[in-house]
Amino acid sequence: MRLAEGIQKHGFRKWYERQLLRSHACMALTFLCGIGVVAAFEGMTRFRDWTDQANNIIAVLICAGIGIWSLRRYLYLLNHAEMVANQAECASCGTYGRLRLVHAPTREGVHVCCAQCDHRWRIDD
Contact positions vs Zn ion (CB under 5 A): 90, 92-93, 95, 114, 116-117, 119
Decide whether 63 or 114 has the Cβ nearer to Zn ion: 114
Of all helices (H) and strands (E), which one includes residue 75?
Answer: helix 50-85
Q: How far is the CB of 91 from Zn ion (least distance, A)?
A: 8
Q: How far is the CB of 13 from Zn ion (least distance, A)?
A: 15
Decide whether 68 or 93 has the Cβ nearer to Zn ion: 93
Decide whether 22 or 119 has the Cβ nearer to Zn ion: 119
Decide whether 111 or 119 has the Cβ nearer to Zn ion: 119
Q: How far is the CB of 116 from Zn ion (least distance, A)?
A: 4
Q: How far is the CB of 90 from Zn ion (least distance, A)?
A: 3
Whole-angstrom CA distances from 57 to 32, 47, 54, 70 are 17, 12, 5, 20
| CA 35/CA 33 separation, integer angstroms | 5
| CA 27/CA 23 separation, integer angstroms | 6
Of all helices (H) and strands (E), which one includes residue 113?
Answer: strand 110-114
